[in-house]
């Protein structure tokens, strides 16, 4: 079975059972307490807790998706047969409430209401044994065995799942394994959210599917409370499943990776297989992260991307690969995956970002090597300094300073280095949290914040100015320019966008003049609600970071019928009604923020 058939069969199966197919969300999550999207349920967190209504947004309490995921936790394992940083996850989801049909949680109910354990298990088993035609002899499962002590927050044995597997699905007792908290309790992502006991499905001992029963909500203080509506969140690793179905024991031998691995091998004939796999994983991951708008930097998600790219470049040095792996990799990913992930069509920009990082890296190596010469011996602290300051990856430090590295063969060095790295990550995560804090705001849409009415009016003028600025930048610099971030207060706007070099003084002036011209034309600013696909069809710009429901608001500047429509953007508002309300627009500064990202600070007078 090809991986494309697996995608299709999964969607078909659950769509037929009342699930709405929802596109993967971005790898940049909505939730500020997590750096990257790690699970399919993340984009649905608000539906589980009832803050958003799934029936309203999706026409069903059931959704199905194939989600792009990235997990740093496995980065050190990459290079073996099963671990990846970037992977896709097939998942079906249900957000209560469960409307009991004639006999309760009923797998024959192909409607649109919430469902729970019995239905989730029935369907998973049916999909695996009947659609994927995996012989039931090969299947074992695990369930939550219950906390051993009755302590605060303890969760009992999941007897219901046990009975469903044993009595209803007919699995023998010895094929049902009881797991502990570490193994059979999932979530939440971030510091609070839905979570609960799980049941996992294994084929030939390989875990392929994790079914989470979101019966609980974990609060920030660690307390577990019963969720108002129990939900279902399942996740099946696409690459691992494909390996099982294609009869290979290495995800890099599936049709998802095979051709790409072959291509990389051409650059390193006879190269160590483990390194080829690391390169395949990291190249794919970097390209997907970049496609979602992440740019290499020294903090948060940008730091992770930089680390991946620098590992690729370091291995290129180590393995003496003279060719540039980036252009062909970007082309390959676009050709193979852009049908599912259209953001990969942005190949030119993606490649430019990767290439800029390569130049930076080459410069850093030069400087790092010079610095390295000063030391007689390199310990964990020195290695970390070289790593952090010059961006030299550990593999490369080890390679370039072989005789200088202390305890090289003891493994201790690597462990301590990893510890040092984790500490650093904590700091950068804490930074991310602080940035998003804030109290007592009258307006807080995430992008816009104001403490009183007066500030709010100003902020809203700035908001419209931001749309105008984005339009104007794209007019002057080209359509590759895209918003990557924005921060507005009552004093100024700050607008980050993708662009690869410093703007000239003329360009800045042109952008400013163009914006003022449109302000003076008194263009109307208004919104229309439309389906997401219609909005995409008319070319409305979407901010990378956001996820959008099926019906979206699109803000327009100018009117089509008058021939002066200039801007259409996915946006929740608020905005002023006419560009003339903005006032005079003035750019104060244009500067670099990260590789491939520029920032403009502007005021209105
Ligand atoms: N959230 C669970 C996981 O990531 C199931 O989707 O494994």
**Cα angle 567-569-573, degrees, rounded to a multiple of 5:** 115
Q: Is the CB of 40 under 6 A from ligand 1?
A: yes
Phi-psi region of 170 (alpha: psi -120 to 50; beta: other; left: phi over 0): left
- Sequence-distant (≥ 6) Cβ neighbours of residue 21 within 8 angstroms: 11, 14, 15, 63, 64, 65
Q: pTM for this one?
A: 0.68
Output the six-digit token pair for 82.
Answer: 């099963």
Question: Which residues in the chain come in under a pLDDT of 70?
Answer: 99-104, 150, 391, 393-395, 399-415, 417-454, 543-547
**Pocket of ligand 1 contains residue 105 by CB under 6 Å:** no
Q: CB neighbours of 598 closer than 8 A, spacing ≥ 6? A: 496, 497, 498, 499, 502, 503, 590, 591, 592
Short-list 473, 431, 465, CA closest to 599:
473
Buried residues in 157-169 as b, exposed as e (16+ CB within 10 A):
ebebbbebbbeeb
* CA 541/CA 570 separation, integer angstroms: 6
User: Whole-angstrom Cα distance, residue 327 to residue 351?
Assistant: 6
What are the contacts of 369-377 at 24+ separation with CB within 8 A? 369/400, 372/397, 372/400, 372/401, 372/404, 375/401, 375/404, 376/404, 377/404, 377/405, 377/406
For helices 273-291 and 300-318, what crossing angle results, to 10°? 150
pLDDT value for 24: 97
* Ligand 1 atom at minimal distance to the Cα of residue 211: 5
Written as six digits, the tokens of 591 are 């500067």
From the CA of 361, how far away is ligand 1's center (Å)?
36
**Phi-psi category of 290—alpha, beta or left, where left has phi over 0 and alpha has psi -120 to 50?**
alpha
Rounded (10°) angle between helices 300-318 and 412-436: 150
- 381: helix, coil or strand? helix
Ligand 1 close to Cβ of residue 604 (< 6 A): no
If you ran DSSP here, which 8-state letter would residue 72 be given? G
Q: How far is the CA of 45 from the centre of ligand 1 (A)?
A: 12
- The SS3 assignment for 95 reads coil
Q: Which long-range contacts (CB under 8 A, 24 or more apart) does 284-287 make?
A: 284/86, 284/260, 284/329, 284/333, 285/70, 285/84, 285/85, 285/86, 286/312, 286/354, 287/329, 287/330, 287/333, 287/344, 287/350, 287/354
Summary count for the chain: helices (H), strands (E): 18, 18
Please indicate whether residue 540, judged by its CB atom, sits closer than 6 Å to ligand 1. Answer: no
CA distance readout (Å), 344 to 42, 86, 173, 349, 372: 22, 15, 47, 10, 38
pLDDT confidence of residue 431: 35
| Residue nearest to ligand 1 atom 3, measured at CA | 235
How far apart are the C-alpha atoms of 505 and 502, rounded to whole Å? 9
Q: Are 242 and 90 in contact (CB under 8 A)?
A: no
Give yes or no for residue 66 CB within 6 A of ligand 1.
no
CB of 88 shorter than 6 A to ligand 1: no
Between the CA of 195 and the centroid of ligand 1 the distance, in Å, is 10
pLDDT tens for each residue of 314-357: 888 777 787 899 999 999 999 999 999 999 999 999 999 999 99
Phi, psi of 75 (to 5 degrees): -60, -35
Question: Which residue owns the Cα nearest ligand 1 atom 1?
Answer: 39
């Amino acid at each position: 079975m090809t991986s494309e058939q697996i995608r299709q069969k999964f969607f078909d199966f659950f769509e037929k059972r009342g699930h709405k197919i929802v596109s993967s969300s971005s790898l940049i999550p909505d939730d500020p307490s997590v750096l990257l999207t790690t699970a399919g349920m993340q984009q649905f967190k608000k539906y589980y807790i009832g803050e958003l209504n799934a029936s309203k947004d999706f026409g069903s309490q059931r959704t199905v998706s194939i989600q792009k995921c990235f997990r740093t936790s496995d980065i050190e394992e990459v290079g073996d047969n099963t671990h990846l940083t970037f992977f896709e996850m097939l998942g079906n989801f249900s957000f209560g409430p469960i409307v009991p049909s004639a006999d309760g949680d009923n797998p024959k109910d192909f409607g649109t209401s919430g469902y729970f354990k019995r239905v989730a298990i029935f369907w998973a088993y049916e999909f695996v044994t009947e659609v994927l035609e995996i012989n039931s002899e090969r299947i074992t499962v695990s369930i939550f065995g219950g906390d051993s002590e009755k302590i605060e927050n303890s969760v009992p044995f999941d007897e219901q799942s046990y009975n469903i597997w044993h009595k209803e699905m007919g699995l023998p007792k010895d094929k049902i394994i009881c797991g502990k908290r570490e193994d059979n309790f999932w979530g939440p992502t971030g510091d609070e959210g839905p979570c609960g006991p799980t049941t996992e499905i294994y084929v030939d001992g390989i875990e392929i599917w994790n079914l989470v029963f979101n019966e609980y909500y974990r609060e920030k203080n660690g307390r577990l409370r019963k969720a108002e509506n129990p939900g279902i969140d399942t996740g099946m690793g696409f690459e691992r499943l494909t390996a099982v179905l294609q009869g290979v024991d290495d995800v890099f031998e599936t049709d998802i990776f095979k051709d790409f691995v072959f291509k990389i091998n051409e650059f390193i004939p006879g190269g160590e297989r483990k390194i080829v796999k690391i390169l395949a994983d990291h190249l794919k991951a970097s390209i997907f992260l970049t496609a979602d708008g992440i740019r290499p930097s020294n903090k948060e998600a940008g730091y992770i991307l930089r680390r991946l790219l620098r590992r690729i470049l370091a291995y290129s040095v180590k393995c003496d690969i003279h060719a540039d792996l980036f252009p062909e990799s970007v082309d390959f990913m676009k050709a193979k995956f852009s049908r599912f992930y259209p953001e990969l069509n942005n190949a030119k920009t993606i490649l430019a970002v990767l290439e800029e990082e390569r130049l930076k890296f080459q410069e850093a190596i030069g400087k790092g090597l010079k610095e390295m010469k000063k030391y007689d011996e390199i310990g964990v602290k020195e290695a970390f300094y070289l790593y952090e300051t010059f961006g030299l990856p550990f593999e490369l430090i080890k390679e370039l300073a072989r005789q200088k590295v202390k305890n090289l063969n003891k493994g201790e060095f690597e462990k301590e280095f990893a510890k040092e790295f984790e500490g650093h990550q904590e700091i950068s995560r804490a930074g991310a949290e602080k940035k998003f804090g804030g109290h007592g705001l009258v307006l807080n849409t995430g992008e816009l914040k104001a403490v009183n009415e007066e500030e709010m009016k100003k902020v809203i003028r700035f908001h419209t100015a931001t749309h105008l600025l984005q339009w104007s930048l794209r007019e002057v610099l080209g359509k590759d320019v895209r918003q990557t971030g924005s921060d507005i207060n009552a004093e100024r706007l700050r607008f980050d966008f993708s662009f690869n070099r410093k703007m000239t003084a003329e360009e800045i002036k042109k952008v400013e003049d163009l914006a003022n011209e449109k302000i003076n034309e008194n263009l109307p600013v208004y919104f229309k609600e439309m389906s997401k696909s219609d909005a995409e069809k008319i070319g409305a710009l979407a901010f990378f970071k956001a996820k959008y429901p099926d019906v979206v608001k699109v803000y327009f500047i100018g009117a089509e019928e008058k021939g002066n429509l200039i801007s259409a953007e996915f946006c929740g508002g608020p905005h002023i009604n006419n560009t003339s309300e903005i006032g005079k627009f003035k750019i104060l500064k244009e500067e670099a923020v990260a590789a491939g990202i520029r920032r403009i600070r502007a005021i209105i007078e």
